Structure 1
């Protein structure tokens, strides 16, 4: 049906007469309506079949149709003269003209309402994600502000004696003992560092004095023996002093680790425990105040929420309290063990040095696995420079 209609339309268009007016314009034909209707019918059929089949049909129509170069446009009807005949061979250009409206009738993949919908969906997704982050931050700040307000209120109430607080007398006594012990150990550490610095300066002075005595022994023949004895004595004292200095440095290093690391770690846990205790008392007081008020629907909802917060902070408080008890126990055991070893080292080293027992002093260092600095390392260590 499509081939026959295409052939008939093209044949009719090629053999029809087009009247031309005196000014060169073509007049209206009676057959225009028929051609237009046929073209519209052909176009609708092409759209139903598809673009690929439509293209193939159009090629077949143009091949089977008449040769446009052999036709002519007649002016004035069938009985006109040859002057009105215009040969089509003189017309330049293609036989088929480009129609810019054709592409507008074909839907293009990737554009149109579907693409607009996907773009709007992606923009809405990004907007929802941004809004979700903002809401999350707002809720975190709101929660922090409410918690800070409750804790500040509880702390002020405790300070002025208006509010109650949870008290663990035994645990708080142990915490106070630890803080007092840390202060005393810090004093021992400070004095031990001062002793190290002073003793280091004394050893350096003895070393310089021994060198001076040895030099004078060579330059003073009449006092050679006296200067020589003193030079040997100062060198021996300098050697023993360096050995004792190694023992004192080890003592200072161990005390520093105990005070500034082990005890400090336990005190950090204690600080977290005290903050948890304050939060627990704040939410406990809030729950007690709500429980004393009226029992309407709004208040019951607030009481239920306060009860949940109370349970959360109670569990946190009890967990940190258990951690503090365990750390205090292990700290006490570690402190006794470390200090027993370090005090024994300090006593034996000092006694052997001032007794002049070089063998016992060296044996003390071997007992505690202390290695001295290599000879010639006169520069003080970073611990000695403190």
Structure 2
């Protein structure tokens, strides 16, 4: 009685005297397993022995007797044996469904955001590649045109009037640079001479004090050298102003025009390169393959033709303004230089100072309050 009281209800249901309850429980367990998991195996009954097939529940024949666990010949209770093959199939089916679900989520993510990202990354790259391709083609055509012109095989477009004006500007630029260089050399030499004159005047002044019998003679020479040094400072200021003005004309005004001239020449080379390319295509056969190339070449030729004509007009206007500005600037600076040099070597200090005031050049004149011996006479 104690043993029967200790038995669990599950044990009573699984092992009974008539086997009915155990069969019902077994059927419920199998049906519950089939409904809870993706088991697709079928149940086969072995005829005489409890043979376990792959992933199959084997049930022996019912004899109506109680099962004896110690007897090997007694009928066995319903059992389920594990099968590695079935387990692998189940794991494969489960993993396949999981992979399928993950793949679907990845596809949804790619359709929602990744494609837009790919397009955003693709457009700048394609634009850069297109720019590089156009630059390579244009560089190749221009290089080919330049080489053909230097070898005398290619033709070039020439505006005789404009080319002559450009040559004049280039020649004038070289000459103005040479004038500035010489004027700078003159200014440096004048500065050295002024330093020597100041030192010589100080030496005469010292000897005038230490030699009473030659006091006046040394004093005259000291005053003369100081006056020449002071006039040299005025002349040096005029020369430096002349150098700065001509430098501005050469390095800024003319150089700005030269930049436009270089752009015009580059546009001319591109125009001739595409003109030559169009002429070569027109000389060839006309078929379905070459006609699109001819049309595209015609479009490019027209674009570069308009660019060339625009640059030609711009350079022509720029040269006109340069000529007017050059005449105005050089007219004033040449008058300044001439008057300053003439007044200096004539010893006319008043005319030299007046020349500087005329061009608004302010210089600090040391010793202007004490007139020299030459000014008094």
TM-score by length of 1: 0.68
Deviation at 1:120, TM superposition (A): 6.0
Counting only pairs closer than 5 Å after superposition, residues 59-78 of structure 1 correspond to structure 2 as none
Partner SS state of residue 297, structure 1:
coil
Where does residue 189 of structure 2 map in the other structure?
A: 198
On the 8 A contact 2:245/2:333 being kept in 1, the answer is yes
Partner SS state of residue 134, structure 1:
helix
Q: Report the CA distance shift for 1:29/1:358 in structure 2 as closer, same or farther (over 3 A).
A: farther
Where does residue 162 of structure 1 map in the other structure?
A: 153
In the alignment, the residues of structure 2 paired with residue 121 and residue 247 of structure 1 have an alpha-carbon distance, to the nearest angstrom, of 77
Deviation at 1:132, TM superposition (A): 2.3
In the alignment, the residues of structure 1 paired with residue 285 and residue 299 of structure 2 have an alpha-carbon distance, to the nearest angstrom, of 19
Where does residue 311 of structure 2 map in the other structure?
A: 320
Q: Report the CA distance shift for 1:20/1:155 in structure 2 as closer, same or farther (over 3 A).
A: closer
Counting only pairs closer than 5 Å after superposition, residues 1-386 of structure 1 correspond to structure 2 as 19-21=9-11, 117-118=108-109, 121-372=112-363
Partner SS state of residue 207, structure 1:
helix
In the alignment, the residues of structure 1 paired with residue 157 and residue 335 of structure 2 have an alpha-carbon distance, to the nearest angstrom, of 42
When the two chains are superposed, the root-mean-square deviation of aligned CA atoms in Å is: 3.0
Which shifted more, 116-125 or 145-154? 116-125
Q: Report the CA distance shift for 1:240/1:28 in structure 2 as closer, same or farther (over 3 A).
A: farther
Deviation at 1:165, TM superposition (A): 1.2
On the 8 A contact 2:197/2:229 being kept in 1, the answer is yes
Aligned residue pairs total: 288
In the alignment, the residues of structure 1 paired with residue 215 and residue 135 of structure 2 have an alpha-carbon distance, to the nearest angstrom, of 82
On the 8 A contact 2:194/2:232 being kept in 1, the answer is yes
Q: Report the CA distance shift for 1:168/1:374 in structure 2 as closer, same or farther (over 3 A).
A: same
TM-score by length of 2: 0.69
Q: Report the CA distance shift for 1:216/1:32 in structure 2 as closer, same or farther (over 3 A).
A: farther
Where does residue 53 of structure 2 map in the other structure?
A: none
Where does residue 95 of structure 1 map in the other structure?
A: none
- C-alpha offsets along residues 15-58 of structure 1, whole Å, 9 cap, x if unaligned? xxx71538x99x97979999xx9xxxxxxxxxxxxxxxxxxxxx
On the 8 A contact 2:230/2:365 being kept in 1, the answer is no
Where does residue 69 of structure 1 map in the other structure?
A: none
In the alignment, the residues of structure 2 paired with residue 145 and residue 285 of structure 1 have an alpha-carbon distance, to the nearest angstrom, of 17
Gaps of 5+ in 1: 1-17, 38-110, 377-386
Deviation at 1:338, TM superposition (A): 0.5
On the 8 A contact 2:230/2:366 being kept in 1, the answer is no
Misfit runs of 4+, over 6 Å: 27-34, 111-116
- C-alpha offsets along residues 69-128 of structure 1, whole Å, 9 cap, x if unaligned? xxxxxxxxxxxxxxxxxxxxxxxxxxxxxxxxxxxxxxxxxx996787346643333333
Which shifted more, 365-374 or 273-282? 365-374
Q: Report the CA distance shift for 1:19/1:245 in structure 2 as closer, same or farther (over 3 A).
A: same
Partner SS state of residue 21, structure 1:
helix
In the alignment, the residues of structure 2 paired with residue 189 and residue 21 of structure 1 have an alpha-carbon distance, to the nearest angstrom, of 121
Which shifted more, 113-122 or 351-360? 113-122
Deviation at 1:373, TM superposition (A): 5.4
